[in-house]
Structure 1
Amino acid sequence: MTLASRIDRVLVGGGADDVLLKTYPTFALNKVTVSGAKGKVNVLDSVDFACYAGHAYAVLVTDDPDSGLTADAKRRALMGVMTGLTPVASGAVMNKSANIAELEPVELRGHRLGIVPQRYAVQPALDAEQNVLYAMEASNRNFLKPKPVIARELLAKVGFSEATSGIPVGKLPLVQQRLAAIARAISTEAEVLILDEPTLGLEGDDEVTVFATLAKLAHSGDPKHCVIVLTESREVAEAADTLFEI
């Protein structure tokens, strides 16, 4: 059974909504190019796609034998430009009507984007609740309820099943670390979630758990999120509502 089929069995009524006509996508790459090293082929060349809240997207990144570009190099470049860490040679990365290159880092990564990188997605020495609080403090946002209460609610929302306090996240199973990282990503109320290989290293039910959690955040969250997963796995990519291949 494919990953997509297994996720469908876990989700309850998780069908994707129709994309309504809107002036701006929630998140988009508009003909984005990232130059290669001097004399080398561009790492990204006029990459173009649009994503909307209420949907889970996958960007499948593959090797390009003709140019010698590896999937890893393209995926890292995509992660860099999508999170505002790498400047583009041409084109634009947009969050609705805003070009992210024109936004302050605290506005972009503390308010607009929830990011789950492969490395440093959590602070391993902190427990799950402290991890979420760390992200909330760094965002410099104001919250209507006490932050520890919100942190516990967010961990429950993503299905975190271990103790939220007292146990360093680094000592928990990998699937629980990923769920804690997702809770961190949504703690600043960012509408866009960008995840770099969130199921890497997971197998079986754990893989389903993480992707089903992301699909629920996209389809039935309040608010609904625009979830974008970067992956080199076709099986993972095909579990999303929409697949872009780079």
Structure 2
Amino acid sequence: MDTAIETTTESATSAEVPATKPALELEHVSYSYTKGGKRVLIDKNYVFRTGRVISITGPSGAGKTTLLSLLSGLTTPTKGRVLHNGEDLAKADRYRFRSHDIGVIFQSFNLLPALTVAENIILSMDASGKTFDKPKKEIAAELIEKVRLQPEYLNERILHLSGGEQQRVAIARALSYDPQIILADEPTGNLDLATQDDIMAIFKDLAHNEGKCVIIVTHSPEVAAQSDEVFQLAPLRER
């Protein structure tokens, strides 16, 4: 065997959250960096559903970053399929998928520091190519409220914000075109515990009240414990 047994667990509160429809599915997914080279993921199967917060955990080298790349449509599997709403991502319009259906929250935020909060959010809306039924700045203001920032932050430049404030803006930006799926890479890695809990409360609200599928890559046991499900990747064993 190349991998240790993987486990899928559910938090103690998960029974209170009704499962809805599959958003992303792994079907016997394997990935190697080069043909005949290092295998990172081997025969992975999982269903990521709307209305759920799912944490992906595992030690360094277990393939968490690779899996995030596959789920976001940036990479295609060496074997198997990644399905979005039942459609094989490898055969889909992946640009449209990334600009309409999935929002990514980066570990380093990737905000433009010289721009204001509103400008960062609106730039993301413009890049999506979607049409909106109200002024973009009005939507940005609603998103800022959703991530628990005061309205005056809209005109604040990113470089003046704390790490926790930037993380909230990064979440608002990911929500700017109303995607079905949110992918977050270590979203609480550099935050204090109180801010971490507040960020998790935002994620749970997005899943449980808005029906989004929220997928979090994390090393934090506290984040995993607050999630509805945990997909734990096992480390590859040396042959």
Q: Which residue of 2 aligns with 1:230?
A: 217
Pairwise CA RMSD of aligned residues? 2.2
SS in 2 for 1:164: helix
- Find the partner of 2:43 among 31, 42, 46: 46
Of 81-90 and 35-44, deviating more is 35-44
- Find the partner of 1:87 among 50, 55, 76: 76
Query: Within the alignment, does 1:163 sit opposite 2:160 as a pair?
Result: no
Query: Structure 2: any 5+ residue segments left out of the alignment?
Result: 1-10, 234-239
Which stretches of structure 1, 4 residues or more, deviate above 6 A after TM superposition? none
Distance in 1 separating the partners of 2:75 and 2:54: 21
Query: Within the alignment, does 1:107 sit opposite 2:96 as a pair?
Result: yes
SS in 1 for 2:42: strand
- Structure-2 change in CA distance of 1:42 and 1:213 (3 Å): same
- Give the TM-score, by structure 1 length: 0.83
- Structure-2 change in CA distance of 1:16 and 1:155 (3 Å): farther
- Find the partner of 2:130 among 114, 138, 141: 141
Q: Which residue of 2 aligns with 1:18?
A: 18
Percent of matched pairs sharing the same residue? 30
- Counterpart amino acid of residue 205 in structure 1: A
Alignment of 1:1-246 (within 5 A): 16-20=16-20, 22=21, 25-37=22-34, 39-63=36-60, 70-71=61-62, 74-161=63-150, 163-221=152-210, 224-246=211-233
- Give the TM-score, by structure 2 length: 0.85
Query: Structure 1: any 5+ residue segments left out of the alignment?
Result: 9-13, 64-69
Q: Residue deviations 1:146-175, cap 9 Å, x none? A: 111011111111212363333211320111
Is contact 1:16–1:241 with CA below 8 Å preserved after alignment? no
Q: Which residue of 1 aligns with 2:237?
A: none
Of 194-203 and 103-112, deviating more is 103-112
Is contact 1:162–1:176 with CA below 8 Å preserved after alignment? no
